[in-house]
Amino acid sequence: MAGRVAIVTGAGRGIGAATAKLLAKAGANLALLDQDAAGATHTAEAIGLEGAEALAFGVDVTDSFAIERTFDRVVEEWGRLDVLVNNAGLVRDARLEDVTDEDWDVTLDVNLKGAMVCTRAAVPHMLARGRGRILSAASVVARDGNWGQTAYGASKGGILGLTRCWARELGPKGITANAVAPGFIDTEMVRSVPAGIVEKIVARTAAGRMGTADEVASVYLFLASDLASFMNGAVVGVDGGLLL
């Protein structure tokens, strides 16, 4: 990844932060986006301590104007954009009868619209070089469903559809689009799930445990690299065998 430029959304913590750090360790320059500006700055400082370059931006991925300006700033700084990791996301869990319009709207806005807005802003910069990697966060929930996750499941299912459309549309232009579908990963988001539910999920997982953010980050690094040059439209499960 030496000399390449990557943007990671939701980079202030969890899988986003781990992915940004691993891409930087592999030689990339990183732009870190998060609605929590302090979180993005913290990740950037950690990357800087390792001798790599990183810029932090406090920005909402659903704000088209702000995203376009931010992406332009990144290209002005480093002259290129090679990788976009659409990682920003949130969960508003509720049974169907308890899902509010607000729950639905904010989940679809951040998880699905945010990925579209960021990819739309990234593609012109990638087309200018004739290559690029678009990587988006799906979930096992998109493929297997989960109790109480109507809005989240819909948003992540949408990511699968977007990824396949982008793969067909952009593949002939040198830009690949792939999705990563984590299972239950030991992050702050999953720690908010009741312990009893987590225990049942772990019991169904062939690996017998939750995954780590670094294990998901490793898959993002592979997909961002030239090693995955012929992967396009793929959905890579990182779930420890939960869907076996």
**Euclidean distance between CA atoms 62 and 92, whole angstroms:** 17
Tell me which amino acid residue 107 is: T
Residue 149 has pLDDT above 80, yes or no: yes
Has residue 35 got a pLDDT over 90? Answer: yes
Contact 23, 30 (CB under 8 A): yes
The pLDDT score that the predictor gives to residue 165 is 98
Residue 220 is a catalytic residue: no
Residue 105 pLDDT grade (very low, low, confident, very high; cuts 50, 70, 90): very high
What's the first-to-final CA gap in the chain, in angstroms?
33
pLDDT of 194 over the 90 cut: no
> Considering only 62-66, 184-188, 205-209, which range has the smallest mean pLDDT?
184-188
At 2-14, the pLDDT tens digits run 999 999 999 999 9
Options 57, 78, 152, 184, the catalytic residue? 152
138 vs 144, more confident: 138
Q: What DSSP line would sit under 11-32, residue for residue?
A: TTSHHHHHHHHHHHHTT-EEEE
- Could you tell me which of 221, 239, 237 has the C-alpha nearest to residue 21? 221
Q: Quick one: average pLDDT of 215-229?
A: 98
Domain locations in the chain?
A: 5-238
In this prediction, residue 148 has a pLDDT band, given cuts at 50, 70 and 90, of confident
Q: How far is CA 156 from CA 82, 139, 227, in A?
A: 24, 6, 26
100-105 contact pairs (CB < 8 A, 24+): 103/151, 104/150, 104/151
Q: Count Cβ atoms within 10 A of the Cβ of residue 76 and give its class: 0-12 exposed, 13-18 middle, 19 or more buried.
A: exposed
Q: For the whole model, what pTM was predicted?
A: 0.96
Which CATH architecture is the domain 5-238 placed in? 3-Layer(aba) Sandwich (3.40)
pLDDT in tens, 52-97: 999 999 999 999 999 999 999 999 999 999 999 999 999 998 999 9
